[in-house]
Amino acid sequence: MSVGKRYFPVDVFARMHTLETTADGHDRGLELVQEILPWLRDCRGFRGLLRLATTDRSRTIMVSFWADEESLNESSSAGRDLGQLITEASGTERIALEDYEVTFFEGELDGSS
């Protein structure tokens, strides 16, 4: 394995929130996500968070990563409720909320060469 690259084994799980938004809603949602990060970091099994947005900010995808299926399931109710609060507070609309098993990841996470 190369330095700066990481492979996640099969036992990592993810929850994906897909939202329709506006530029203002995107920015407000980002502020809210930063506010809840300390809570997420304290959750058992939390492994990270990834937020993607289209260039026009009309759609945002947020993916949280969990150490195992049990951690994913334990965070399910709180994650759904918190996601709903964020969508309401930022004026966005949830399109989908789905759980996945991460079966492979390879890439540079820190941006260094």
In 3D, which of 100, 89, 29, 79 has the Cα closest to residue 59? Answer: 29
Tens-digit pLDDT profile for residues 33-74: 899 899 889 999 999 999 999 999 999 999 999 999 999 999
d(CA 11, CA 8): 8
Judged against a pLDDT cut of 80, whether residue 81 lies above it is answered with: yes
Q: Could you tell me which residues come within 8 angstroms of residue 1 by beta carbon, excluding any fewer than 6 positions away?
A: 7
**CATH architecture of the domain with residue range 14-102:** 2-Layer Sandwich (3.30)
Which pLDDT value is given to residue 1? 44
CA gap 90, 8 in Å, rounded: 32
Confidence of residue 85 (pLDDT cuts 50, 70, 90): confident
Q: Give me the helices (H) in the chain, please.
A: 23-42, 69-74, 76-90
pLDDT in tens, 11-39: 789 999 999 999 999 999 899 989 989 98
